[in-house]
């Protein structure tokens, strides 16, 4: 998701001149755009929607896809709620994805464009300060009640006050919301600096006001929301399964955004407590679709009869989306990680080359950027004038080598015992006030050992953490690896009750408001946010605002790269790795569309073949 804004407070004269030139260019571009009306069927974050009004179906959807049958998905863990939009509880995406609908529907074939679904018309001025939706008069909840503007306002107020931090902070920017008629809802968006806000509003899953208790919305519940989507919840087995059935009275059955999607008569979510059980269930045919992220399992675990005789199909897919960041995350709220030199030194001691060769068949690539494999990444790219102007008010916030594009994650000799990297790390730790005493690295002033715990929730995480801990122990650093169950893990993450975790922040082709939830200072202490590292940086806050207000692609890219440089320079994670491609394993009778979407796999396109093809010879 994505957008931008900038601050020039405290900038030098040169930086202010650059911003003045940008402002002149911006005025000129606004005047040029004013000559052509904005589309009224979709909103694009940057540029124009790819599909015109009146399009017949999404490019990656097959209107001729077979209908019927059952598709089963599986999730590691459990659930104690059906509502993933609130802080309390653990909930899957089943209800918001299949039972509820939003005003807009995001296309997986464009960086960030959303087309009218519940909304038959969208009105957005060029400054993005005023937004209005006309609700399709055909839209109905599953009980036959029309979807109205009051339902939209009710949802908006409820998510703004009781939703997760992402919705609270984003929707809190709206200065006024009103419903002048039952089918029209209007929003005033302040100064328009958060240019992603219209898309965030359009993506809200709409709740029925007459069937939703706003007072208890923030609590865990197994009562499904009344939705307007193609499915309804037919059965809930707490902690075990959720079963959805396709509605026969779905109002948008022949809508352009529904043709070729939502093909199965039944969708099941099955839950398994651990990764091994989850994989064994797939091999046994107990669920249909699996995204594989374990190189060892991908290379060796699928050498089974079901793959050899064609009952299970393996596919490697490539998407144009940035690859995001997977890393060991420092909880900088902990005093042990308060010194940036300590964090940098600990990052030097992860031997990616050894781990990749010995644990992962050499398949991974080293992470370093938070937007790898894209033009948004700052790795290997010198900062341009736009980036330097954005960062000018915060001297020293970005290291010189990161600004110049020469910084790279540490490369070792792959031996697992790289003495040169250990020496460099030890020198940094000494400069931070540590010394070796009786084989333990201790703070000179307090005598306390440099020690911390890595919290993990799966065997692959445990294996990697133990390997990393062994590297650290060679330098006298005391590390404990603790594996806990899924429920306890999520509760501790929500309360930031950990020293270090392994985490993945995925990236979209249009980063935006979700980045505020991950990095903005306002979310550093907000329970349930994704700012697990506890980042509190005025420079990061300012660049996030600039990102959310960017109008042109060039300014957007500069802002994201500036954010990348700040996060890299802060050493908030030990960068681990990423997969350049997506590994998919599926039952042979699950049908994929012939046209693959450009940016992400959408489960809605899957269909069940009415008669499985014969095994390949």
φ and ψ at residue 243, rounded to 5 degrees: -120, 125
Q: Which of 13-17, 82-86, 491-495 is the least confident region?
A: 13-17
Cα separation of 607 and 598, whole Å?
A: 19
Q: Regarding predicted confidence, which is higher, 12 or 74?
A: 74
Q: Helix or strand or coil: residue 436?
A: strand
- The pLDDT of residue 37 is 54
| Residue 356 structure tokens | 């990749």
With 0-12 / 13-18 / 19 or more C-beta atoms within 10 angstroms meaning exposed / middle / buried, residue 268 is buried
Tens digit of each residue's pLDDT (9 = 90 or more) over 241-250: 999 999 999 9
- The pLDDT of residue 165 is 84
pLDDT-derived band of residue 527, with 50, 70 and 90 as boundaries?
A: confident
Cα separation of 243 and 369, whole Å?
A: 39
Q: Helix or strand or coil: residue 590?
A: strand
Sign, CA torsion 480/481/485/489: positive
Helix or strand run (H / E) with residue 15? helix 13-33
**pLDDT exceeds 90 at position 23:** no
pLDDT-derived band of residue 142, with 50, 70 and 90 as boundaries?
A: very high
Q: Do 14 and 165 contact (CB within 8 A), yes or no?
A: no
In angstroms, the Cα distances linking 153 to 103, 150, 287, 429, 495 are: 12, 5, 38, 54, 30
CATH number of the 325-578 domain: 3.10.105.10
Q: In what order do the strands lie in the sheet with 241-246?
A: 70-76, 266-272, 241-246, 231-237
Cα separation of 324 and 338, whole Å?
A: 24
Tens digit of each residue's pLDDT (9 = 90 or more) over 379-398: 999 999 999 999 999 999 99
pLDDT-derived band of residue 274, with 50, 70 and 90 as boundaries?
A: confident
Q: Do 110 and 49 contact (CB within 8 A), yes or no?
A: yes
**pLDDT exceeds 60 at position 353:** yes
Q: Do 551 and 29 contact (CB within 8 A), yes or no?
A: yes
**pLDDT exceeds 50 at position 24:** no
| β-strands 478-483, 451-456 pairing | parallel
158 Cβ contact list (under 8 Å, min separation 6): 207, 212, 214, 217
Residue 58, Cα to own-chain centre: how many angstroms? Answer: 23
Q: Which of 37-51, 113-127, 189-203, 565-579 is the least confident region?
A: 37-51
pLDDT, mean of residues 219-232? 96
Strand partners, 114: 43, 106
| Residue 480 structure tokens | 């404990």
88 Cβ contact list (under 8 Å, min separation 6): 81, 218, 219, 220
Helix or strand run (H / E) with residue 157? helix 149-162
**pLDDT exceeds 70 at position 34:** no
Look up residue 169 and give its DSSP letter: H
| Residue 283 structure tokens | 């091999």
Q: Regarding predicted confidence, which is higher, 6 or 539?
A: 539
Domain ranges of the chain: 325-578
pLDDT, mean of residues 262-269? 97
Residue 600, Cα to own-chain centre: how many angstroms? Answer: 12
501 Cβ contact list (under 8 Å, min separation 6): 328, 329, 331, 454, 455, 456, 493, 532
Q: Do 230 and 100 contact (CB within 8 A), yes or no?
A: no
Helix or strand run (H / E) with residue 74? strand 70-76
Tens digit of each residue's pLDDT (9 = 90 or more) over 431-478: 999 999 999 999 999 999 999 999 999 888 999 999 999 999 999 999
- The pLDDT of residue 27 is 34
**Can you tell me which residue has the tokens 């004013």?**
34
pLDDT-derived band of residue 204, with 50, 70 and 90 as boundaries?
A: very high
Residues 464-486 as b/e (b if ≥16 CB within 10 A, e otherwise) read: bbebbbebbeebbbebebeeeeb
pLDDT, mean of residues 297-301? 93
| Residue 520 structure tokens | 């903005």
Helices (H), 330-485: 340-348, 352-359, 385-391, 400-403, 419-431, 459-473
pLDDT, mean of residues 297-318? 94
Average pLDDT over all residues of the chain = 91
Residues 588-591: contacts with CB under 8 Å, at least 24 apart: 588/310, 588/311, 588/312, 588/313, 588/612, 588/613, 589/69, 589/613, 590/71, 590/288, 590/289, 591/65, 591/66
- The pLDDT of residue 31 is 39
Tens digit of each residue's pLDDT (9 = 90 or more) over 400-443: 999 999 999 999 998 888 999 999 999 999 999 999 999 999 99
**pLDDT exceeds 80 at position 32:** no
Nearest CA to 2 out of 277, 195, 164, 242 is that of 195
pLDDT, mean of residues 159-166? 91
DSSP annotation string for 225-270: PP--SSEEEEEEETTTEEEEEE-TT-TTTTSTTTTTSS--SEEEEE
**pLDDT exceeds 50 at position 129:** yes
Overall size of the chain counted in residues: 617
Percent of the chain with pLDDT over 90: 81
DSSP annotation string for 185-221: EEEE-TTS--TTHHHHHHTPPPPPGGG--GGGTTS--
Tens digit of each residue's pLDDT (9 = 90 or more) over 529-539: 899 999 999 99
Cα separation of 453 and 480, whole Å?
A: 5
Model's pTM, two decimal places?
0.78
């Amino acid at each position: 998701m994505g957008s931008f804004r900038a601050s020039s407070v405290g900038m030098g004269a040169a930086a202010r001149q650059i911003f003045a030139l940008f402002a002149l260019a911006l005025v000129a571009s606004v005047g040029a755009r004013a000559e052509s009306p904005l589309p009224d069927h979709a909103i694009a974050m940057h540029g124009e929607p790819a599909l015109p009004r009146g399009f017949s179906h999404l490019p990656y959807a097959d209107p001729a896809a077979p209908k019927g049958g059952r598709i089963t998905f599986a999730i590691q863990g459990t659930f104690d709620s059906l509502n993933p939009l609130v802080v309390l509880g653990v909930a899957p995406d089943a209800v918001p994805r299949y039972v509820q609908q939003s005003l807009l529907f995001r296309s997986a074939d464009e960086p960030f464009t959303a087309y009218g679904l519940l909304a038959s018309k969208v009105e957005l001025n060029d400054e993005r300060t005023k937004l209005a939706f006309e609700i399709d008069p055909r839209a109905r909840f599953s009980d036959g009640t029309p979807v109205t503007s009051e339902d939209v306002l009710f949802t908006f107020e409820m998510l703004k006050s009781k939703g997760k931090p992402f919705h609270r902070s984003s929707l809190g920017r709206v200065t006024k919301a009103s419903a002048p008629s039952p089918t029209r809802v209007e929003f005033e968006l302040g100064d328009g600096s958060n240019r992603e806000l219209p898309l965030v509003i359009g993506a809200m899953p709409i709740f029925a006001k007459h069937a939703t208790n706003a007072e208890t919305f923030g609590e865990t519940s197994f009562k499904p929301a009344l939705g307007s989507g193609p499915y309804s919840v037919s059965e809930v087995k707490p902690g075990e399964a959720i079963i959805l059935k396709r509605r026969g009275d779905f109002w948008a059955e022949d809508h352009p955004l529904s043709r070729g999607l939502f093909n199965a008569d039944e969708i099941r979510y099955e839950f398994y407590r651990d990764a091994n059980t989850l994989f064994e269930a797939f091999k046994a045919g107990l669920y249909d679709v699996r995204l594989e992220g374990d190189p060892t399992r991908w290379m060796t675990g699928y050498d089974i009869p079901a793959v050899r005789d064609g009952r299970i199909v393996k596919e490697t897919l490539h998407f144009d989306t940035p690859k995001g960041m997977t890393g060991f995350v420092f909880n900088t709220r902990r005093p042990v990680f308060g010194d940036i030199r300590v964090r940098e030194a600990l990052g030097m001691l992860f031997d990616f080359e050894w781990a990749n060769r010995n644990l992962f068949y050499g398949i991974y690539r080293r992470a370093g950027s938070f937007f790898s494999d894209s033009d948004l990444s700052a790795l290997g790219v010198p900062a341009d004038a736009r980036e330097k102007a954005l960062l000018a008010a915060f001297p020293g916030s970005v290291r010189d080598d990161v600004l110049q594009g020469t910084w790279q994650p540490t490369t070792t000799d792959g031996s697992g015992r790289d003495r040169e990297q250990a020496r460099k790390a030890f020198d940094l730790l000494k400069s931070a006030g540590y010394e070796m005493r009786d084989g333990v690295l201790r703070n000179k002033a307090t005598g306390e050992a440099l020690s911390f715990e890595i919290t993990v929730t799966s065997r692959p995480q445990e294996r990697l953490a133990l390997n990393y801990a062994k590297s650290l122990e060679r330098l006298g650093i005391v590390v404990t690896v603790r594996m806990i169950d899924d429920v306890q893990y999520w509760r501790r993450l929500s309360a930031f009750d950990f020293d270090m975790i392994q985490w993945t922040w995925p990236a979209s082709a249009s980063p935006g408001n979700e980045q505020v939830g991950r990095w903005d200072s306002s979310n550093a202490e907000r329970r349930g946010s994704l700012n697990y590292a506890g980042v509190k940086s005025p420079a990061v806050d300012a660049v996030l605002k600039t990102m959310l207000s960017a109008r042109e692609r060039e300014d957007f890219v500069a802002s994201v790269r500036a954010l990348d440089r700040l996060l890299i320079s802060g050493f908030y994670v030990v960068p681990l790795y990423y997969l350049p491609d997506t590994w998919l394993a599926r039952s042979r009778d699950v049908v994929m569309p012939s046209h693959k979407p450009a940016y992400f796999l959408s489960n809605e396109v899957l269909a069940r073949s009415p008669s499985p093809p014969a095994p390949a010879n």
